[in-house]
Amino acid sequence: MEPSIVVLYSQSSSPQAAQEPLSLPRQNLVTEAALAARAKNNDAVAAPQTPVRADGDVLLRGRSPTPRCANGQPFCLYDQEYPQQRVHEILNTYHDDANTLYHALHRYNPQELINRDNQTHNYRHRGHFACESEVAYLRPGWARNWKDQWVAVVNTDKFPQMVRVETCKFLNQKCEFLPPCYKSSCMQRFAATRLLCVDPANPHQRPTIDVFEMPVACSCFVENFRFL
């Protein structure tokens, strides 16, 4: 299985820290270590239990339940719980629809975007940020749309999808470089992200482009410029 996380860089106030290998913040994203831990002990995850078919696919009826991999997050990484067989069945049935939607949504290869993103951020070496963040590309498997419904994000060899996320390194902590008289905090910002998806619970429903909320920036928030 291909990696689900590609960490690019840290937008840190420390130039040395920006060069060090990074992992995503546990409070914001499901990490590979967390996935491995869940694989060893699924009972440790406080989420609805989903029956699994003999072929390994999640057994879905009517509306897709919250997958076990969610762990309180609005999306899951592409992992062992991804319903590969059901997704492939839907894509085989509606291949032309999926192909048209995919190429209308993704004009560039995901790897090309990753390479460019990793080369065009030299500005972070010329100054500092009030709130440190980490940038990564994720390969989502499940995601919760704006209607609060869980659907499977199409992620196959032919239709790969990656999502760029930027998460606060020190969520809810005070912003740097501000006078202590200001009450500030580093806040996670979200934005709408469009992805090609299918509903494994409804295999006769065509693939569609849905909207999901993803973390895209870390901003310094000052509470009405009130003095402490």
The phi and psi torsions of 58 (rounded to 5 degrees) equal -70, 135
Q: Which residues contact 45 (CB under 8 A, 6 or more apart)?
A: 38, 68, 69, 71
- What is the predicted pLDDT for the residue at 12? 56
Q: Would you tell me which CATH number, out of the four given (3.30.70.1140, 3.40.50.300, 2.10.90.10, 3.40.190.10), belongs to the domain 5-227?
A: 2.10.90.10
SS3 113: helix
Asked if residues 178 and 129 have their Cβ atoms less than 8 Å apart, the reply is no
- What is the predicted pLDDT for the residue at 82? 93
Asked if residues 85 and 57 have their Cβ atoms less than 8 Å apart, the reply is yes
- What is the predicted pLDDT for the residue at 171? 97
Q: In terms of DSSP H, where are the helices of the chain?
A: 15-18, 32-40, 84-93, 95-105, 110-117
- What is the predicted pLDDT for the residue at 4? 66
- What is the predicted pLDDT for the residue at 164? 92
- The distance of Cα 99 from the centroid of its chain, to the nearest Å, equals 23
Asked if residues 197 and 151 have their Cβ atoms less than 8 Å apart, the reply is yes
> Domains of the chain: which residue ranges?
5-227
In angstroms, the CA 152 to CA 154 distance is 6
pLDDT in tens, the chain (228 residues): 555 666 665 665 443 343 333 333 333 343 334 433 433 443 332 333 333 333 334 444 456 788 888 888 889 999 888 999 999 999 999 999 999 999 999 987 777 777 777 655 666 677 888 999 999 999 999 999 999 999 999 999 999 999 999 999 999 999 999 998 889 999 999 999 999 999 999 999 999 999 999 999 999 999 886 555
Q: Tell me which residue of 89, 40, 50, 73 sits closest to 141, measured CA to CA.
A: 73
